Structure 1
């Protein structure tokens, strides 16, 4: 992002924080950023493009602060990521609504980066042998549940929001994707396939073709 665009995006973000999305008018933005209206249209096209840039910047800043620790309890890390996601959505209602608008499509680089963080956390759980669905299915379920939980809470008046709803949603999803303890191969073929799938890319004794074929077999066994 150029310096000029970043300056305007910062001004819009401040307007939204202080006065809400309705305050974002061309005149207000031009005054807050100290630019002429034509500059805004030239850089962002229209108000929709400007709001998209603001949402993307906010999400990118949030995602850049997320890391996947290589040590520690994978289940605790997954729950921490969920809690952070819920907190971000509730604290950034306008941004979250913009990012989850189906009309925008799925072309957000920051959203894609966020999903990669989630995939990495799910992969750590899979490696323990506790995941009883494919990694892809687990990511899709967690992402859908998290988005739905935030949107449901945002639709409520702030004083009526029950954050226990988000916790209950997480527990419900967890019951459908993980087992209580690592399973043995004989007792849990799906979990075993999912766990083994996490190490396939790191098997040096196999060729690329063999790794791809083994990954395909294991995905099929896991129901991916």
Structure 2
């Protein structure tokens, strides 16, 4: 078997497993059914993946490749908080469109185990929260902010998959509550400049993306030069 044929067979096995998983999200699937779909014998599957878990890990990796491919195509607003909002919505949309992949990527829990591929989107999110922290816009550490966003985003997505119904109002409400929690804007604003930054970032369509980004930069610089606002 040539290298090209070997690669093609492996990809076809992953695709067949993904199709079976997508057809019945959350349910077990048969290795025999995967092999029958591709027209190979069980030893061939074990040659490529070693075990059923090895095949599942390959499908998870493929799911994250698809997810990150979509994220890479997204245009950054230039504002980290607004990009967290956009990333949240893209995460939910991917889960609803790909429930088979998503339930393996985030819904299969094995104590003490985290798929290696799961770290890639987490690194993107952490980069955004780190930028927000550098701008003085978080009330928690960037690592905690990233974890807060991820767990609530996953929870909202899994709930909608379980209910087999999109609920954009619920997603938006939880998203804004999460952002308010990590930025400290849910109740008493930290100071007027911080409040102005968050308002501008939340409504980039009012001034336009370039103008909003410039305004955020100006307000952030002013905040760096101003004494801290007194707390209640």
Q: For residue 72 of structure 1, report the CA deviation from its aligned partner.
A: 2.1
State the match for 2:212 in structure 1: none
Matches within 5 A, 1:1-224: 3=7, 4-17=9-22, 19-21=23-25, 24-67=29-72, 72-100=78-106, 101-103=108-110, 105-158=112-165, 161-178=166-183, 179=185, 180=195, 181=197, 184=226, 186-187=228-229
* Structure 1 pair 176–90 and aligned structure 2 pair: CA distance change class (3 A): same
In structure 1, stretches of 5+ residues that fail to align are 190-224
- 1:123-145 per-position Cα deviation (integer Å, ceiling 9, x unaligned): 22223221121101100100111
Alignment root-mean-square deviation, CA = 2.7
| Secondary structure of the structure 2 residue equivalent to 1:119 | helix
Write the distance in 1 (CA, Å) between the matches of 2:123 and 2:41: 38
In structure 2, stretches of 5+ residues that fail to align are 1-5, 186-194, 198-219
Q: For residue 25 of structure 1, report the CA deviation from its aligned partner.
A: 2.0
Write the distance in 2 (CA, Å) between the matches of 1:104 and 1:64: 28
Question: Larger deviation: 76-85 or 88-97?
Answer: 88-97
TM superposition outliers: structure 1 runs of 4+ over 4 Å: 68-71, 182-185
- 1:84-126 per-position Cα deviation (integer Å, ceiling 9, x unaligned): 1111122222222222222164442321011011111212222
Residue correspondences, number: 185
* Structure 1 pair 188–154 and aligned structure 2 pair: CA distance change class (3 A): farther
- 1:34-59 per-position Cα deviation (integer Å, ceiling 9, x unaligned): 21112112322333332232122111
Asked whether the equivalents of residues 66 and 117 of structure 1 are also in contact (C-alpha less than 8 Å), the reply is: no
Asked whether the equivalents of residues 89 and 96 of structure 1 are also in contact (C-alpha less than 8 Å), the reply is: yes
